[in-house]
Amino acid sequence: MKVKKFTAATSRDALRKVREALGPDAVILSNRPVDGQVEILALDNDDVASLAAPAADSEMAQPAPQLQHLDTPAPAPFLSRRLQDAAPAAAPAFSAPAAAAAAAYAEPAPTYAERRAPAPEPTIDMTAMTSMMSAAIAQAKESAAAEMSGMMNEIRAMRGLMETQLAELSWNATAQREPQKAAVLREMLAAGFSATLARYLLEKMPATKNSVDAMRWVKTVLARNLTTIGSEDALLEQGGVYALVGPTGVGKTTTTAKLAARCVMRHGPDKLALITTDAYRIGGHEQLRIYGKILGVMVHSVKDEADLRIALKELRNKHTVLIDTIGMSQRDHMVAEQVAMLSGSGADVKRLLCLNSTSTNETLNEVVRAYQGSGLHGAIMTKMDEAASIGGVLDIVIRQKLNLHYISNGQRVPEDLHVADRNLLVDRAFRNRANAMNEADLPLMMAAAGEAAHATGAREVNLG
């Protein structure tokens, strides 16, 4: 059995050497990394077959010697028989030397135990050999799978790089051929809109001669896709149970107080009830209780779904019930529990999501996905007076198809709460914009947003 060792930089090169030296039927015994290289021990297929059948000229192939049975007496030599016939039975007639010679010839043949036993034939543990070969094959497959996975990752990286470079070249050509699109892109990115939505609109933009007409078309499309209630009469007159939800610090309690004041001014304090679930934040319950005392409205505190079910059952004769929920990060697993609590309260609780206008586009997108649940009734923009640009929150409202109810731009109750006006919001987004984008960064941003533009809600923007 001749075991050969092969070393190479990679497993593929080492396997190629094995195939070249021993053929495709070679048996791999081991595969391991040694000093930065891959070492493979292999055995020729003919050598494996020879282990089961020994060579004809070897000692193991010779026939076993014929041994005499221990109980059979050895025949006396011919000379000994003649001496026994000639001598009388009483006493031997030989001299001392002759007697000694006769005794030597008359010695019995050596027994089987006195002979040297032949060497045992070597045996092969086929079970161990099979197990070793299986382990070697499994290790080779695992190494090949890991190498294949690395190769696929490299191919994907190369594909992404090529797509990015091609997208940059395409955008540069488009900017030179249609400079009005480049101007619109700069305006949208400076206003806070995402590159995904901007790219989609630029792809669908009709041919125009100047950037003024192009911007007018973009504002019209944005305003058409920004859904608002238009008038609060439907909300205040219809009544119902409304829960304000959202992350910590977005202004849920203050917005609840503003809505409560509007309801009291229209229907009186007897038609309104306030519920708070904020039993964790210090002063959270007391803040809403102070607002309720000013408005003359009772504030109820609940801790869990059972308390909420009981409270809503007792307040079913109220025209409007406003629920101020505890603020939680969009990445907190308790958000799902809060959504389940409101959904399982036994009443039709309409959830209004408070969106912080100062948050980034990515953060707002996470917030909507976390609080979406079975569906949001609407959204309220808060802290609009603190935002440098509002294009980001408008972008999320448009792409997530949210119904925008109110905008909050201050702490005064109830003055700083206004019904959302789509045209006013779009115009303000482009008027109060941040710093202009760097011209050199535009191709890279458009290339990064190439595939994302078709994987989001931007594909459903109404361009009519």
Q: Cβ distance 323 to 307 under 8 Å?
A: no
Q: Identify whether residues 135 and 263 lie together within a single domain.
A: no
Q: Are 275 and 308 in contact (CB under 8 A)?
A: yes
For residue 393, give both structure tokens. Answer: 């929150």
How many structural domains compose the chain? 2
* pLDDT tens-place string over residues 291-310: 888 888 888 888 888 888 88
Claim to verify: residue 135 and residue 273 sit in the same structural domain: no
- Segments in the chain below pLDDT 50: 67-106, 112-113, 453-459
Domain extent at residue 239: 229-420
User: 2-38: per-residue pLDDT in tens?
Assistant: 788 888 888 888 888 888 888 888 888 888 888 888 8
CA dist list (Å): 373 to 80, 289, 359, 367: 116, 29, 21, 11
CB-based burial, 180-219: b 16+ in 10 Å, e otherwise: bbbbbbbbbbbbbbbbbbbbbbbeebeebeebeebbebbb
- 87: in domain: no
439 part of a folded domain: no
- In a domain, residue 106? The reply is no
- How far, in Å, CA of 276 to CA of 307, rounded? 11
Say if 180 falls within a structural domain.
no
pLDDT given at position 374: 76
Q: Is the dihedral of CA 68, 72, 73, 77 positive or negative?
A: negative
282 shares a domain with 135: no
448 Cβ contact list (under 8 Å, min separation 6): 164, 195
389 occurs within a structural domain: yes
Query: Which residues face 300 on adjacent strands?
Result: 275
pLDDT value for 229: 85
Structural domain contains residue 104: no
Residue 297 lies in a domain: yes
- Please tell me the predicted confidence (pLDDT) of residue 172: 63
| Same domain as 234, residue 135 | no
For 48, counting Cβ atoms within 10 Å of its Cβ (0-12 exposed, 13-18 middle, 19+ buried), the class is middle
The domain boundary, picked from 385, 401, 420, lies at 420
Domain final residue pick, 381, 398, 420: 420
Three-state secondary-structure class, residue 405: strand
pLDDT of residue 458: 45
Judged on CB neighbours under 10 Å (0-12, 13-18, 19+), 250 is buried
Residue with tokens 């535009």: 442
Q: Quote the pLDDT of residue 71.
A: 46
What pLDDT does 437 receive? 56
Residue 384, domain CATH:
3.40.50.300
Asked whether residue 320 is domain-assigned, the answer is yes
